Amino acid sequence: MSKKIILFFVGAFLFFESNIVSANVSINEIMYAPVNGGAYEWIEVFNSGSISFDLNDWRFFNNKDDSSPLRLQKGSGILGSGEYAIITNTSNVDSFSGIVFSSSQFSLPDDSVKYNTYKAISDSNKQIIDSVTYDTSLGGSKESGYSLSKISNSWKAALPTPGAKNISSSPNNSNNINDNTLVATINDNVQNITEIKTKTKIVEIPKIKTEIKSNVYAFVGIPLEFDVNTTGYSGESLFQGKYFWNFGDGDSKEIKASNINKFTHTFFYEGEYTVSVEYFTNYYSTTPDAVDKMIIKVIPANILISKIGDEKDFFVEISNDTNYDSNLSNWALLGNEKSFIFPKNTILKSKNKIILSPKITGFSILDKDVLKLVNSQMETIFSYSSSPNILPVEILDKNIIKTKAPITKPIYSVPQDNLINMDLNTNNNINSLENILEMKVPFDNGVAGAIKSDIPVKDNFKYGIFGLFAFLGISTSLAYFIRTRNRGFVSKKTGDDFEILDE
């Protein structure tokens, strides 16, 4: 009887000792709401004991009734003293190094009020080794970027340190930690050994990054091209989800993410605009997983056809009157039946010009009246035919350029307020005519104004009246002289034709 009692106590001792030793493996950190989405949730387990444990075929409990075996994805599966292991989704194993397991039952709710947050690990016999029902009110929300970490046997919100020692942190002191890396010190306390081994690891915070790609300046009324690049936790490109753009000018748009995200937007007024983009991994989500912003400076589009040649050498000069370099790639000049496309990487420097030879463009003087400069979206930037102030030039030699003034018939117009009812019998006539003649009336093309005579208008009028009277006097005298002479000639001829006979 005594031997049976002894064997019973020995068996019980070994059983409890086994459980006590296994209890050194515990759930140490929970990332239930990662900033880059639910697919990146994970749990960290830690071996605080002095012996190693084989976690192959251990189980993960999603609740008290449902569990699934752990499946080794990375490492040996043997959790040594002072070591860490990660349990996560199958799709997320590449985000970690060291010992990594996955579980088909793995899920971490982000609201402990609405959902059961009981999680546990067990050995292959479903003997619970450690369990926890985490409270999301303690912190670790998606917006914060924190995890729930066991620090001094208490669960606290802290910066995530997967595979490394938990460190106490809060929003107030997190500024002392680099945004991209966390320096964690791991102290391995070996039982019955006074030596403390210290290790240092650099762990990158998992997050999604999105970046706007565009020029920092744009021209008024000309479409500006935008693109966006988004990468996941491991630096891979992400093409699922959606983007929400805000252009800062009252306009916005939502587009579905794909491998091609380029589009254009037009700013209609000069100024500086803050353009922002929000990226959502889930198309139906309302909380963005990544955000980026940039400032766009919009300036007047002072790029024009500043000069053209003549029929002998019909060159075209393009000027950039802005304070910024302009990329004319895929812009075009349109002529009568011809077009010229600016090649890729054609940069026109600020306050500079480019002169295009007809041997390159193929244009001739016949293209002058329809010549246009258009951007890559075929929108008109400058039309030569609608700009009367630009004159063709004639090349005299290499150093002399002579401007050809346009030949056009001047059309005079008198403002309605200056119309005068003329009265030839009044002295007001002279002043009225002078007012009309002295008005500066422009040509119809706006290039030149009417030219005023160097001789005073008033003297011109007097000389005209005097000349008129002199002409009338001379004419009257000459007419009288001719008439008197003709009468004498007729009388003489009459006397010669008749003879008087005496009765």
The model scores a pTM over 0.85 = no
With cut-offs at 50, 70 and 90, classify the pLDDT of residue 22: low
Tell whether 28 and 90 lie within a shared domain: yes
Closest CA to 114 of 137, 132, 130, 131: 137
Give yes or no: residues 9 and 109 share one domain.
yes
**CB 103, CB 66: distance < 8 Å:** no
Domain around 309: 303-403
Which one of 204, 224, 259 terminates a domain? 204
Count of beta carbons in the 10 Å neighbourhood of residue 205 = 18
Q: Check whether residue 395 and residue 311 sit in a common domain.
A: yes
How much of the chain, in percent, has pLDDT values that exceed 70? 68
How many structural domains does the chain have?
4
Q: Is 485 part of a structural domain of the chain?
A: no
Confidence label for 426 from pLDDT (cuts 50, 70 and 90): very low
In a domain, 187, yes or no: yes
Higher per-residue confidence, 460 vs 133: 133
β-pairing, 84-88 with 99-102?
parallel
Q: Quick check: 345 and 394 in contact, CB under 8 A?
A: no
- Phi, psi of 435, rounded to the nearest 5 degrees: -60, -40
- 493 located within any domain: no
Q: How far apart are CA 418 and CA 309, in angstroms?
A: 42
- For residue 488, tell me if it sits in a domain: no
- Give the pLDDT band (50/70/90) at residue 388: low
The answer to whether position 385 is within a domain reads yes
Residues 357 and 424 in one domain: no
- Examine the domain organization and report whether 267 and 378 are in the same domain: no
Helix (H, G, I), strand (E, B) or coil at 23: coil
Q: What is residue 19's three-state secondary structure?
A: helix
Whether 252 and 116 map to the same domain: the answer is: no
**For the domain that residue 262 is a member of, what is the CATH number?**
2.60.40.10
Using 50, 70 and 90 to split pLDDT, how confident is the model at 386?
low
Q: Give the tokens for residue 28.
A: 């140490």
Are 96 and 162 in contact by the 8 Å Cβ rule? The answer is yes
Q: Is the pLDDT of residue 247 over 90?
A: yes
Contact 64, 83 (CB under 8 A): no
One domain, residues 30 and 106: yes
474 or 309, greater pLDDT: 309
What's the mean pLDDT when you consider all of the chain?
75
Indicate if 54 and 157 belong to the same structural domain.
yes
Above 80 in pLDDT, residue 411?
no
Q: What band does 393 get if pLDDT is binned at 50, 70 and 90?
A: very low
Q: Are residues 145 and 246 in the same domain?
A: no
Is 397 among the domain residues?
A: yes
Looking up residue 363, the CATH number of its domain turns out to be 2.60.40.1260
Domain boundary among 283, 299, 315: 299
pLDDT of residue 149: 92
DSSP string, 34-63: -TT-GGG-EEEEEE-SSS-EE-TT-EEESS
Closest CA to 373 of 386, 391, 362: 386
Each residue's pLDDT tens digit, 52-89:
989 988 999 988 888 888 988 888 889 999 999 999 98
Range in 18-27, 48-57, 279-288 with the lowest mean pLDDT: 18-27
Does residue 491 fall inside a structural domain? no
User: CA-based angle 50:56:58, to the nearest 5?
Assistant: 85
17 part of a folded domain = yes
- Tell me which of 163, 182, 204 is where a domain ends: 204
- pLDDT for 203 equals 53
**Does one domain contain both 414 and 289?**
no
- From the list 168, 143, 158, 29, the residue with the least C-alpha distance to 88 is 29
Question: Which pLDDT does position 283 carry in this prediction?
Answer: 78
The residue-averaged pLDDT of 149-153 equals: 89
Q: What's the number of CA atoms in the CB half-sphere (13 Å) around residue 254?
A: 8
- Confidence at residue 495, expressed as pLDDT on a 0 to 100 scale: 47
* CA nearest neighbour of 205 among 28, 27, 31: 31
Q: Quick one: tokens of 80?
A: 């040594």
| Interacting residues of 70 by C-beta distance below 8 A, sequence separation 6+ | 55, 56, 57, 58, 59, 60, 87, 101, 102, 103, 121
Average pLDDT estimate for 405-413 = 41
Closest CA to 85 of 138, 117, 130: 130
Q: Is the pLDDT score of 275 beyond 60? A: yes
pLDDT of residue 409: 39
Q: Are residues 195 and 84 in the same domain?
A: yes
The confidence score (pLDDT) of residue 11 equals: 56
3-state secondary structure of 79: strand
- Regarding whether 189 and 64 lie in a shared domain, the answer is yes
